[in-house]
Structure 1
Amino acid sequence: MHVSHLALHNFRSYELVDVPLGPGVTAFVGRNGQGKTNLVEAIDYLSRLSSHRVSSDAPLIRAGAPQAVVRAAVVKDGRTAVLEVELNPGKSNRGRINKSTLPRVRDLVGLVRTVVFSPEDLTLVKGDPGDRRRFLDDLLVLRAPRLAGTLSDLDRVLKQRASLLKTAGHARRGSSSQDAALSTLDVWDAHLARVGAEILAERLALVEVLRPYVGAAYATVARGATRDDAALAYRSSFDLPGSVAAAPHRPDRGDLTEALLAELGRRRGDELDRGVCLVGPHRDDLLLSLGRDPSDPTSRLPVKGYASHGESWSFALALRLASFDLLRAEGDDPILILDDVFAELDAERRAQLAALVADAEQVLVTAAVADDVPEALRGARYLVGGGEVTRAPDPESV
């Protein structure tokens, strides 16, 4: 799979731009702030309908423009399809395939698969649990696009349930309004248990299948590391049933649903007091560990707080490489996006990363300085500056 053409209208800094692309490596070179990342961000947006840089669509629309359009010609198995998303501030976005409007914009998700390496990846290691949950959920959706709807359902249930918790918590104890809110809350508890169990089961299974890929990737990018050094573990907001803990690679959704419902009942008083949902996959975390605790060889050290800056970067790279390798093993190569990542790495790590990804079907690189792009990723070059994207005659002329 690769993108053969990208067209943007009022996306980020571009009023209008058309860029022909092809398989292999393409590098966008230009000074910071000139719009090179905007180009690869647009392709990634088509993949997930979200940006790796911002949490909402508003910054993606050019200032003063009524809407933005991202259009890409995607080649898979020799066939070309034109995918398009129209971003409409204050209204629903629209998706199209070959000019035909889709019933739901999220039907675009997964038709293009991307893996993005960026400076923001360090938040996977040093950031909040939400960053690691988003990493897992993005990968889930790329593997099974139907889960985009399940995640949307989870978000809707959590918002509705939080509103009910606040209403019931503020109502006078024993009043008719509180009784009505609590009765409705029972219904939404059942919804949360069902949808939450599905997401939890998918995440648990993903962590199990991803774990060996992360170990292998870390051993490749970190000096002197072995496959056993880097480890992943999933931490749930409640104790998992014994059947699930014993077989996380194939979790029983029925057992998870019952356990979630029971925990919701147990924590209801706390939730009413605080007015927030305290139980569910939105409270979970992906635990990252590296090496062994010298004082207790049976325990691992968490990456956050113990790893050096270089080790943290290596772990973040390993997570992205593992995602790429897993998606590749399960189907077509995803489009690999290396967004200004080489400026953050020393020469050895640059060369290692380049060697690992050079054979991907399509690699898109952004760099402020042409010399930051390793020799193994020499290919087509575009100069980005002044709102224009210009093809360089050959790499040596950049």
Structure 2
Amino acid sequence: MHVTHLSLADFRSYARAEVSLDPGVTAFVGPNGQGKTNLVEAVGYLATLGSHRVSSDAPLVRMGADRAVIRAAVTQGERQQLIELELNPGRANRARINRSSQVRPRDVLGMVRTVLFAPEDLALVKGDPGERRRFLDELITARSPRMAGVRSDYDRVLKQRNTLLKSAAMARRHGSRVGSSMDLSTLDVWDQHLARAGAELLAQRLDLIAALEPLADKAYERLAPGGGPVALEYRCPVGGGSRAELYEQLLGALGEARQQEIERGVTLVGPHRDDLLLKLGQLPAKGYASHGESWSFALALRLASYDLLCAEGAEPVLVLDDVFAELDTRRRERLAELVAPGEQVLVTAAVAEDVPGVLSGARYVVADGEVTRV
């Protein structure tokens, strides 16, 4: 699968941009602040309905415009499709596939798959648990686009449950009667909804980690021979088992935490609180791994993601956003050799010398709002 044409309207710094893309390697080169990352960010948005740089859509719309449009022609085998996303901050986004307007934005998920390498990846190892949960959930959705609906359901139920808990906490602080049969029965219903969606999300995460761990260990060995092994350990208050068993365990954990949740006014149990422990040897990578080891671990997670998607028949577009400038020469060359065979590889760099020689292919210069092929 590869993107053959990218068209932007009022996206980030671009009033208009038209970029033809070929299979193989394409490098976007130019000084910082000229819009290189904006191009690959748009491709990534098609794959995840989100940006790797910001948490909301508003910054993606060019200043002075009220919406942005990302349009891409995508080829997979003999099949060609046109995907369009309209970003409307403060309003519902819109989507079209092959000119049809009768689709939801999440219906485009799975039509473009990407694996993104970026300087922000270091947060996978050194950052907060939310970074690692996001990594897992985006990869889950890439494997199974229907999980976007499950994630949305979980977030919706979590928000409703937190609202109820917050009201209960405020009433308790003000001396009102809390814990009536009506209050408890309402919370019981939300517990069931949260446990149901949470069990599905948790099952998918556990399955993903089991598939990803050996691939991450292999990728780390290729990047830093003799430096491993690496291990991925999921941290949550419930064990494994079937979805039905996970549901019962989550429901029980919610019941045990209820009094504390009412006191604090927030949901304390569920996939939104879990973490992925990354281990290098016998020690947690966070706090113990060197800067170079942390980079190798982050890169290994991305390479493992790529290998997993390829093994499942969905070779993604590889995006390397200004990552080579962050790496020493040894890691730069090894990473380049590993990604070079990809069906489509998009690279951004401030200077041409940052792009390893093995990644030869099409090249664009990005400057003054113009994207020019050279």
Q: Give the C-alpha shift of residue 179 in structure 1.
A: 4.4
Look up the SS of the partner of 1:327 in the other structure: helix
Matched, 1:313 2:312: no
- 1:263-282 correspondence to structure 2 within 5 Å: 263-282=253-272
Q: Determine the C-alpha separation between the residues in 2 that align with 1:239 and 1:103.
A: 37
Residue correspondence of structure 1 range 224-243 to structure 2 within 5 A: 224-226=226-228, 229-236=229-236, 238-240=237-239
- Give the 3-state SS of the residue equivalent to 1:215 in structure 2: helix
Indicate conservation of the 8 Å contact 2:29/2:352, yes or no: yes
How many angstroms apart in 2 are the aligned matches of 1:82 and 1:316? Answer: 33
Secondary structure at 1:377 match in 2: coil
**In the TM superposition, what is the alpha-carbon distance from 1:360 to its structure 2 partner?**
0.5
Alignment partner of 1:259 is 2:259: no
Instruction: State the Cα deviation string for residues 2-28 of structure 1 (Å, max 9, x = none).
Output: 000000000000000100001000000
The CA deviation at 1:29 is 0.1
Q: Which runs of 4+ in 1 moved over 6 A?
A: none
SS at match of 2:92: coil
Shift in Å, 1:367 = 0.2
1:358 alignment partner, one of 340, 350, 354:
340
Q: Is the 8 A contact 2:238 2:250 kept in 1?
A: no
- Given the alignment, which residue of 352, 355, 369 partners 1:370? 352
Which residue of structure 2 lines up, in the alignment, with residue 188 of structure 1?
190
Q: Distance in 1 between matches of 2:157 and 2:24?
A: 43
**Any residues of structure 2 matched to 1:132-143 within 5 Å, and which?**
132-143=132-143
Among 273, 290, 308, the alignment partner of 1:326 is: 308
In the TM superposition, residue 55 of structure 1 has moved relative to its aligned partner by: 0.6
Q: Show the counterpart of 1:5.
A: 5
Distance 2:244 2:107 in 1: 28
5 Å matches for 1:99-178?
Answer: 99-172=99-172, 175=177
Work out the CA distance in 2 between the residues paired with 1:176 and 1:262: 21
Provide the residue aligned with 2:81 in structure 1.
Answer: 81
The answer on whether the counterparts of 2:35 and 2:366 sit within 8 Å (CA) in structure 1 is yes
Match of 1:19 in 2: 19
How much has 1:332 moved relative to structure 2?
2.8
| Aligned partner letter, 1:346 | D
Name the CA distance, whole Å, in 2 between partners of 1:176 and 1:136: 37
309-318 vs 74-83, which moves further = 74-83
CA apart distance, 1:78: 1.9
The equivalent of 1:203 in structure 2 is 205
In 1, Cα distance between the equivalents of 2:86 and 2:93?
6
Residue 26 of structure 1 contacts residue 381 of structure 1 at CA under 8 Å; is this kept in 2? yes
- Aligned partner of residue 304 in structure 1, secondary structure: coil
> Percent of aligned positions with the same letter in both sequences?
64
1:269 CA displacement: 0.4
- Structure-1 separation of matches of 2:317 and 2:103: 26
Does the 8 A contact of 2:234 with 2:277 survive in 1?
yes
Q: Does 2:60 align with 1:60?
A: yes
For residues 253 and 150 of structure 1, what CA distance do their matches in structure 2 show? 14
169-178 or 93-102, which deviates more: 169-178
What is the aligned-residue RMSD (CA, Å)?
1.2
2:342 partner SS? coil
Please tell me whether the aligned partners of residues 168 and 178 of structure 1 are also in contact (alpha carbons under 8 angstroms). Answer: no
**Which residue matches 1:304?**
286
Q: List per-residue Cα deviations over 1:300-358 (Å, max 9, x = no partner).
A: 20000000000000000000000000001111310000000000011111110111011
Give me the whole-angstrom Cα distance separating, in 2, the residues matched to 1:72 and 1:178.
54
Match of 1:396 in 2: none
Provide the TM-score with structure 2 as the length reference: 0.97
- Listed as ranges, the gaps of 5+ residues in structure 1 are 245-250, 292-299, 393-398
Matching residue of 1:295: none
Partner of 2:274: 284
1:218 aligned partner: 220
What is the deviation of 1:89? 1.6
Give the Cα separation in 2 of the matches to 1:176 and 1:333. 54
Question: Higher mean Cα deviation, 131-140 or 74-83?
Answer: 74-83
Equivalents in 2 of 1:367, 1:257: separation in Å?
A: 47
SS at match of 1:63: coil
Provide the TM-score with structure 1 as the length reference: 0.92
SS in 2 for 1:232: strand
Deviation at 1:80, TM superposition (A): 1.2
Flag structure 2 segments of 5+ consecutive residues without an equivalent: none
CA contact (8 A) 2:238 2:246 kept: no
Give the distance between the partners of 2:100 and 2:180, measured in 1 at CA: 48
Following the alignment from structure 1 to structure 2, what is the Cα–Cα distance between the partners of residues 370 and 212? 34
* Residue-pair matches, total: 372
1:181: Cα distance to partner? Answer: 3.0
The 3 A distance-change label for structure 1 pair 118 and 266 is same
Residue pair 1:168, 1:182 contacting (<8 A) in 2 also: no
Structure 1 partner of 2:51: 51
